[in-house]
Every structure is written in C-alpha cells, then in structure tokens.
Amino acid sequence: MEELIRTNDAVALSFAESLLKDAGIACFVADQGMSILEGSLGLLPRRLMVDGGRIAAARRLLVDAGLGDELREIDA
C-alpha cells in the first residue's frame, strides 16, 4: 500500500475515499484511531492508502475530481 493523501480535512478525505471506492480502487484510511484519541482537534493527519498497482489510476481520478492539491508528492 502507498500513501496517496495525508490530511486533517475530514471532508476531502471522505470525498477521496468515496471516489476511489466507486471506481473500484481498494483503499483504507490509516491513523483514524490516532485521530480519535487526540479528541477530534484535527492535529493528527490521517492517511489514505491505495494499492501500489493502482496508485497512478487513483492519482488521475483525484486530480480530475479537483483534489490534486491534496495528493502527496511522488518520491523520486
């Protein structure tokens, strides 16, 4: 699994997760438990993880949906 998004924005995270699931791209939100422990203050970001073989398709989908600014940079 590769990290696609790391954010404190619950709305953007939920939207991205919904888009990916609708497109049949398996994903999961990591660090959700830590976010709950910190009291929903929004201090600890959550990560949206995607299978490495589908990362390019997932990135294209989110860019097309206007979430390109939320994407993690690609490691060189």
**d(Cα 37, Cα 46) in Å, to the nearest integer?**
12
- What pLDDT is attached to residue 42? 60
- What confidence tens digit (pLDDT) does each residue in 3-46 have? 999 998 889 999 999 999 999 999 999 987 765 666 656 678 88
- What pLDDT is attached to residue 8? 87
- What pLDDT is attached to residue 38? 60
CA distances for 57 relative to 19, 23, 24, 51, 61, angstroms: 12, 10, 11, 10, 6
60: left (phi over 0), alpha (psi -120 to 50) or beta: alpha
The pTM of the full predicted model, rounded to 2 decimals, is 0.82
**d(Cα 23, Cα 7) in Å, to the nearest integer?**
21
- What pLDDT is attached to residue 75? 63
Sketch out the chain's domains with CATH numbers.
2-70 (3.30.70.790)
At residue 54, does pLDDT exceed 60? yes
Helix (H, G, I), strand (E, B) or coil at 17: helix
